[in-house]
Amino acid sequence: MVGGSQGLFLRAVENILIVGFAAMIALVFGNVVMRYVFDSGIIAAEEVSRMIFVWLTFGGAYLVARENGHLGMNSVVIRFGYRGRWICRFLTELLSLFCMVLVAIGCWEQTRMNLHNAAPVTGIPTGVVYAAGLACGVGLAWINIQNIWALITGRIGFDDLVPQIETEEMLSANVPHQDKTRS
């Protein structure tokens, strides 16, 4: 459970994504209806909805990462004891941090280069699209830094070292949990 200003920030991100999703649906649906009924459409709707979709994708990736909801390959790591799980989680966070730094640097360069390139219909700078990747890269890097710190300070327990997303297949298979005493 996240509280305080961090909780307000996450709620704000969620609300912005909801508004963006609603706007995208309205633009696309309105455009389809207008083309079908009036044989014309809003040309800018396609361009704006694509830009919103990029932001929704990166924003959703941030929110899912915040909740450890991304898919992972944990069938091997789940068999390790505390030390093995800790090492795997640490390496995962470190490699993810490295990748997010590369994403942020690349998106920063693309944002900077494309701020003066306007989209053909709306005139919105195309750098806005790359800024979504920059925001996500910085956000995910921050999550990685927080997780690395939590690992180093021992604030991540044994069960949380391997985030588990239960699927319907896992639930129906009644897979027993591994013994926590192995190392």
Predicted TM-score (pTM) of the model is: 0.80
Let me know: does 58 contact 132? Beta carbons within 8 Å. Answer: yes
Helix axes 43-66, 4-38, angle to 10 degrees: 150
Let me know: does 34 contact 40? Beta carbons within 8 Å. Answer: yes
Q: Looking at residue 131, what is its pLDDT?
A: 97
Q: Looking at residue 63, what is its pLDDT?
A: 93
Let me know: does 126 contact 114? Beta carbons within 8 Å. Answer: yes
Q: Looking at residue 110, what is its pLDDT?
A: 97
DSSP letter for 174, please: T
DSSP letter for 79, please: G
Give the sign of the dihedral formed by CA 107, CA 131, CA 23, CA 60: positive
Q: Looking at residue 181, what is its pLDDT?
A: 47
| Cα–Cα distance measured from residue 5 to residue 39, given in angstroms and rounded to the nearest whole number | 48
Q: Looking at residue 145, what is its pLDDT?
A: 97
Q: Looking at residue 3, what is its pLDDT?
A: 61
Which tokens go with 93? Answer: 């966070």
Map out the domains of the chain as residue ranges.
4-173
What is the full per-residue pLDDT of the chain (183 aa) written as tens digits?
456 777 888 899 999 999 999 999 999 999 999 999 998 888 899 999 999 999 999 999 999 999 888 777 788 888 899 999 999 999 999 999 999 999 999 999 999 999 999 999 999 999 999 999 999 999 999 999 999 999 999 998 888 888 765 555 555 555 555 544 444
| Coil, strand or helix at 125 | strand
Residues 6+ apart with CB under 8 A from 20: 52, 55, 56, 59
Q: How many CB atoms are closer than 10 A to CB 25?
A: 12
